[in-house]
């Protein structure tokens, strides 16, 4: 079973390699997707489930990410497998949004992201697709794409805080009410 690698793992800080045509036919892509699905299901912290994971997060330096919302919500995000993705459009408009990461579990922060993006990639069968996204889905795509370039959200964060400090502060505020 694939597991999340620690934050200092080299795959999280390197530009991932493109997936080749041979890796579709020799089972490599299928194995990475299976391993990502296995790893994402194991994450549950503070009542939150995972929504996306990139291959470098399991120590595989390949350009592939999976969006697969593990929540039971009716408005779950769509499942997307993006192989060798690239953005073809970014909105000029950006916003500052809160983020966390499976690979940096003790920190949260705020990051500036484009509000809308268009992504072109291959699916798990090697078929090219284009997908536009706004809001949360656009944010997730940009976050996961960053993993493929060796960038963690902590590298982009405008503010960063340790979750224990945040939880302690929230508890103190709740007790004072």
Position 176 scores a pLDDT of: 56
Q: Nearest 5 degrees, angle CA 119-CA 41-CA 52?
A: 20
pTM above 0.75, yes or no: yes
Position 56 scores a pLDDT of: 98
Domains, the chain, ranges and CATH?
10-176 (3.90.45.10)
| Catalytic residue from among 23, 68, 99, 144 | 144
pLDDT in tens, 62-118: 999 999 988 877 788 999 999 999 999 999 999 999 999 999 988 999 999 999 999
The yes-or-no answer on residue 23 being catalytic is no
């Amino acid at each position: 079973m694939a597991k999340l690698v620690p934050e200092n793992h080299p795959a999280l800080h390197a530009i991932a390699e493109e997936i080749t045509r041979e890796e579709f036919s020799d089972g490599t892509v299928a194995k990475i997707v299976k391993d990502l699905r296995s790893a994402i299901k194991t994450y549950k912290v503070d009542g939150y489930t995972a929504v996306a994971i990139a291959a470098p997060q399991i120590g595989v330096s390949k350009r592939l990410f999976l969006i697969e919302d593990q929540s039971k919500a009716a408005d779950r995000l769509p499942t997307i497998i993006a192989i060798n993705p690239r953005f073809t459009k970014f909105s000029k408009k950006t916003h500052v949004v809160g983020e966390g990461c499976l690979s940096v579990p003790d920190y949260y922060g705020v990051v500036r992201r484009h509000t809308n993006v268009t992504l072109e990639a291959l699916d798990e069968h090697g078929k090219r697709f284009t997908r536009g996204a706004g809001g949360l889905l656009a944010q997730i795509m940009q976050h996961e794409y960053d993993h493929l370039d060796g960038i963690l959200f902590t590298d982009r964060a405008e503010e960063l805080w340790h979750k224990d400090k945040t939880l302690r502060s929230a508890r103190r505020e709740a007790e004072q009410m």
